[in-house]
Amino acid sequence: MKAFLFLLLIVSAFNISSHAQGQLRMTQQEIIATKATDPSAPGSSNLSAVQVIVIFGDPSKSGLYTILLKVAANTQIPAHLHPDARVGTVVSGTWYFGYGDKFDKSKLKTLPTGSVYSEVANQNHFAMTKEPVIVEITGYGPSGVTYVNAAGDPKNMKH
């Protein structure tokens, strides 16, 4: 686990301005200002309130990856799982995170900026925000998302 966290620290130390050369260094302010990609990117929750920035690797392929989730205020993410084990770090804001087969506010733990948590492979979890939040997630892909209630999966909902 120490080696994984050390690797996470190294990955986090690269610079986005030199990303083409494999170098990535971002301040918290640069992360907040960075434009996000499609909310349905691998490893995300498919919610329009959750934007994804891939900062290392490719979560759709085998190998190490790191993504940033920019989550809007007042977002509730239903219970879901990912096929890969992941470690998350709260970069800004307060993230409310819990484990279980359904969203349950009583099981949420308050994770302020700087907090770290794990997402065990294939273990259901859920989250919410009260303010904008940025979470860095590192895992070993390929990643994806499966909701406990498939009808509640945002990509299956009609717009």
Q: What is the largest CA-CA distance in the chain?
A: 45
Q: Are strands 133-141 and 146-147 parallel, antiparallel or unpaired?
A: unpaired
In a domain, 22, yes or no: no
- Predicted pLDDT of residue 11: 43
In a domain, 92, yes or no: yes
Number of domains in the chain: 1
In a domain, 136, yes or no: yes
In a domain, 120, yes or no: yes
Q: For residue 103, give the CATH number of its domain.
A: 2.60.120.10
Residue pLDDT, tens place only, 116-157: 999 999 999 999 999 999 999 999 999 999 999 987 777 776
In a domain, 132, yes or no: yes
Q: Please report, in tens digits, the pLDDT of each residue of the chain (159 residues total).
A: 554 444 444 444 333 333 556 787 888 788 778 777 666 667 778 788 999 999 899 999 999 999 999 999 999 999 999 999 999 999 999 999 999 999 999 999 999 999 999 999 999 999 999 999 999 999 999 999 999 998 777 777 654
133-141: strand order across its sheet? 50-56, 63-71, 133-141, 86-92, 116-119
What range defines the domain where residue 96 resides? 32-156
Which tokens in the block code for residue 49? 């309130």
What is 79-98 written as a DSSP string?
EEE-SS-EEEEEEES-EEEE
Q: CA 45 to CA 82: how far, in whole Å? A: 9
In a domain, 15, yes or no: no
